[in-house]
A and B are shown apart, each in its own frame.
Chain A
Amino acid sequence: MAAESGEHAGIEVEGLVRVFKNGPRAVDGIDLRVAPGEIYGFLGPNGAGKSTTVLMLTTLLPPTEGTARVAGFDIVQEGPKVRSAIGAALQEAALDPLLSGREHMRLQTALHGIPKPEREQRGDELLARVGLSQAADRKVGGYSGGMKRRLDLALALAHRPRILFLDEPTTGLDIQSRTALWEEVAQLAGDGVTVFLTTQYLEEADALANRVGIIDRGRIVAEGTPAALKAEIGRPTVEAIPHEATDHERMREVLGRFGELAGGPPRGAAVRLAGGEAQLAEVVRALDAEGIAIEHLQLHAPSLDDVFLTKTGRSLEGAEAAEEEAEEEAAAEAVGRA
């Protein structure tokens, strides 16, 4: 069952570093605080250091440097107390395909020391909560991705943790399953559970998180509420696609007069309007004056991707491919750490 309350029921991290053998500094001195009952979104591309941070905060990987307290307990000195206060659904639902959902719940509740008479009731209650009562006796090998993720969440909640770590809980899920999981996470936060959620989906962080930390190459490059971060950037983006491909370069030149060019759609270009939304009409007039026929034109409000772009010089999507290799290296070392 959940441990006694520490002096701070949230998460406090100072100067956390993790260096893998012969590898990069996967986490390079991060500081953060997550208040009790808050949903904290940890946003970044693959390989940015999100999962490594979660492994350290859940006591599964010792930090190289720095300190962290989770639920008021030190992650290095008080590992068992931390584990009893937290629940975690780590990247890729780690389930046994040969066991049923109910058998998973039975195992999890027993290993957490929940008294025998309560185990079945707790398991049934959680399976119902995540909508798996009907499938409870089916082997997990036959579950869909969304069902596995929901079971993973139910298992993480078995011992009523006060802090929940969700490492990319919706990666690979269809939009329906993703929305269902979002609702469940929001409900948990409503019940007072602190949620530390890593994600590479901007809309997920935007929709769920009270505050967002943006991590890139092991460092937090921006932190705040989604609204505050977007307001900080403050500039909307116009993206356009020319009717004729041969006009692409001329269109870029015209857009460039109105602000900083950004990664645009395929065959098109985008500009972050230095003068705000009011410049849209001027952009249209300038394109028309140059005789450039436009197939598509769209105005975007600032997004977390714009925040990422501003802070790192790269778009979130573009950063993923570049950092994929680093992540694979770190993951391989974490798996083979024996």
Chain B
Amino acid sequence: MCLILSACAAISPGKTIERRDLPEAKPGPRELASIQLTEQGQMLLEKDKIDEAISVLERAVSVYAYNGKNYYYLAEAWLRKGNLKQAREWNRLAKMYLAGDQEWSQRVFDQRERIRTRTR
């Protein structure tokens, strides 16, 4: 029995690779450029210039699509514009790209709840 069990332990069905975390590398040029634009977009949102913010954040997405904060702020902008469908879609993407960041994951979750509340 012990021999069988140890054999079971020795034989694995193969490597298991779960979801890949993005490596903690220095930001590349596209990411740096996107971060600049994200900051601009965030400032415009704070000034309530929603359409301008969306334009800048769209540009940020086009430059570097992995920055989850862009999606978060886009969801925020569409929420303020009252387009809950778009807000939901962008929030979905924000959730995916910010899953590795606890603080931002919470913010994404809170945002999703706000969208849900507005939908009812």
Do A and B truly interact?
A: no
Spell out B's residues near A (CB within 8 Å).
none
